[in-house]
A and B are shown apart, each in its own frame.
Chain A
């Protein structure tokens, strides 16, 4: 049988991991953590954990995707270790954008206007990603953390709550604030 082919479909080859997946995983970790040292550490933890878990690899899906799944969980662990979510770390005083976006009655302020629709086509434009990155980076830290874990990494509420040891309602409040801010921020870039 074709050994080469078999290998790519269902077998892992740890001796080639760093060569094959190291850079892509590092790039992902760096984009997420914006700290080269932390990104290297997370990539190393990913490979070491993966090596211990080779028995659990189902053979379904590509080796790279499997490793990326492990990396995302290492990213959650890393975010928890930064202790931003500890009760002692305190809140972010100006983190709730509601006052700026709703009037006293709870209606959208006049300038909220979500008139322009974002066509999917804008995803192909480099300026869109530039604005998206800027808006993400402009979020208060905790909101940026949970938004990225939820929407970029695609982890579910449960995985994030367990990983960060926060309650679901806490997570949902942070996600909602992040979404309010991001819609406003993307809106302002729209008008440029």
Chain B
């Protein structure tokens, strides 16, 4: 039988690849009776939700709105764009 240490690894890998049927079954059965691994699985999914939201906030310009490209950088980038448009 797999211990929590290996189960937690399966939890993580289930976020990355399709588990084999056997792996999936072992994971399901363990999670059904182990509160700690269940808690870990929830946290891992929550981390994904939180990270995506973090990214969304950044992309929407909701955070650090005082952070801006410096005028020098802006000019340099404009110039690089003009150069490569030629």
- List chain A positions with a Cβ less than 8 A from chain B: 14, 17-18, 22-24, 26-28, 30-31, 40, 43-44, 47-48, 51-52, 64-65, 68, 98, 102, 105-108, 112-115, 117-118, 120, 123, 128-129, 132, 147-148, 151-154, 157, 168, 171-172, 175-176, 179-180, 182-183, 186-187
Contact = CB atoms under 8 A, between A and B. Distances in A.
B16 to A, nearest CB: 5
B35 to A, nearest CB: 8
Given A44-B76, A183-B43, A186-B43, A172 B69 contact: no
B81 A118 contact: no
Q: How large is the interface on B (under 10, 10 to 19, 20 to 34, 35 or more residues)?
A: 35 or more
A175 B42 CA distance: 16
Contact of A27 (B38, B58, B78, B81): B58
A132 B6 contact: no
A101 to B, nearest CB: 8
A27 B63 contact: yes
24 contacts: A22-B69, A23-B61, A24-B59, A24-B61, A26-B67, A27-B61, A28-B59, A40-B70, A48-B80, A48-B81, A98-B5, A102-B5, A106-B4, A106-B5, A108-B40, A114-B43, A117-B42, A118-B43, A120-B49, A123-B49, A152-B54, A153-B55, A172-B12, A176-B9
A102 B4 contact: yes
B36 interface: yes
Contact of B77 (A22, A107, A153): A22
B84 A48 contact: yes
Contacts of B81: 14, 17-18, 47-48, 51
B85 A151 contact: no
Interface string B50-65: 1111110011010110
B40 to A, nearest CB: 6
Nearest to A43: B77
